[in-house]
Structure 1
Amino acid sequence: MSIRSYQRRVREWMAACFPPSSASDRLERSHRFLEEALELAQAAGCSKEDALTLVNYVFSRPVGDGSQETGGVMVTLSALCDVHGIDLEEASERELARNWDRIDLIRSKQASKPHGSALPQ
């Protein structure tokens, strides 16, 4: 899997699934990423207490560089997948294909959420 190709295909899915205002909303994308990252950490055994401790630790430090932090996400995601026996490429492709099959359901779910955030109300 080429990361560039995958990112382009995700962009195409986003354009097909969401209105441009949602697909390009930086804060909403950040919240959705954090939600998914927390769900993965939870599935991998991270406790709520550890997650909250890490949130406090991260937000007590200076803001990092987005490009460098993206590299860190990719390295640590690959390492997490490795120790949990998850094929990162296969899981990525499977989820993107599943999302294409669920556009109507995702749009319906999106319509019930507050605009501009994945935060619960």
Structure 2
Amino acid sequence: MKTSSFQTRVHEWVVSCFPRAAHRDRHERAHRFLEEALELAQASGCSREDALALVHYVFSREEGEIAQETGGVLVTLAALCNAQDVDMDQAGETELKRNWSRIEKIRAKQAAKPHGSALPQ
């Protein structure tokens, strides 16, 4: 029996959880990714000042290419997980399983937030 990739299984969850307008919205997905990345950085000891300095640095440069930047995210996430003794694959599986159990709560949060806002609520 062939197991679906993690990305495919996340897609199945997103399609089950969100209306098409939300799960296909690139800005929404980018905002949620940035929120989670910032939460991970914060949990890893990154200060607000360092995060803001990095925001200014990144946005002062030319825009990158999506596929290459995606690869960079995956490589640096794996390196961060290694440095913190976190099993990246297991952490992803655990969170996906938790998300399946929270669909109604996530839908309610999505419905209550301002449309088009980067902020989650």
* TM tier relative to shorter chain: over 0.9
Match of 1:75 in 2: 75
Give the whole-Å Cα distance in 2 for the aligned partners of 1:52 and 1:42: 12
Structure-1-length-normalised TM-score: 0.93
Match of 1:111 in 2: 111
How far did 1:119 drift? 1.7
Q: Which amino acid aligns with 1:31?
A: H
Q: Which amino acid aligns with 2:18?
A: F
Match of 1:21 in 2: 21
Give the whole-Å Cα distance in 2 for the aligned partners of 1:37 and 1:58: 15
Match of 2:52 in 1: 52
Give the whole-Å Cα distance in 1 for the aligned partners of 2:117 and 2:36: 13
Q: Which amino acid aligns with 1:10?
A: V
How far did 1:36 drift? 0.3
How far did 1:120 drift? 5.2
Q: Which runs of 5+ in 1 are unaligned?
A: none
Structure-2-length-normalised TM-score: 0.93
How far did 1:99 drift? 0.2
Match of 1:96 in 2: 96
Match of 1:66 in 2: 66
Q: Which runs of 5+ in 2 are unaligned?
A: none
Q: Cα 1:30–1:91, aligned 2, differ >3 Å: closer, same or farther?
A: same
Do 1:14 and 1:23's aligned partners in 2 also have CA atoms closer than 8 Å? yes
Q: Summarize deviations over 1:31-84 as a string: whole Å, max 9, x none.
A: 000000000000000000000000000000000000000000000000000001
Give the whole-Å Cα distance in 1 for the aligned partners of 2:116 and 2:12: 20
Aligned CA-pair RMSD = 1.2
Q: Which amino acid aligns with 2:97?
A: A
Give the whole-Å Cα distance in 2 for the aligned partners of 1:46 and 1:112: 30
Q: Which amino acid aligns with 2:43?
A: A
Percent of residue pairs bearing the same amino acid type: 65
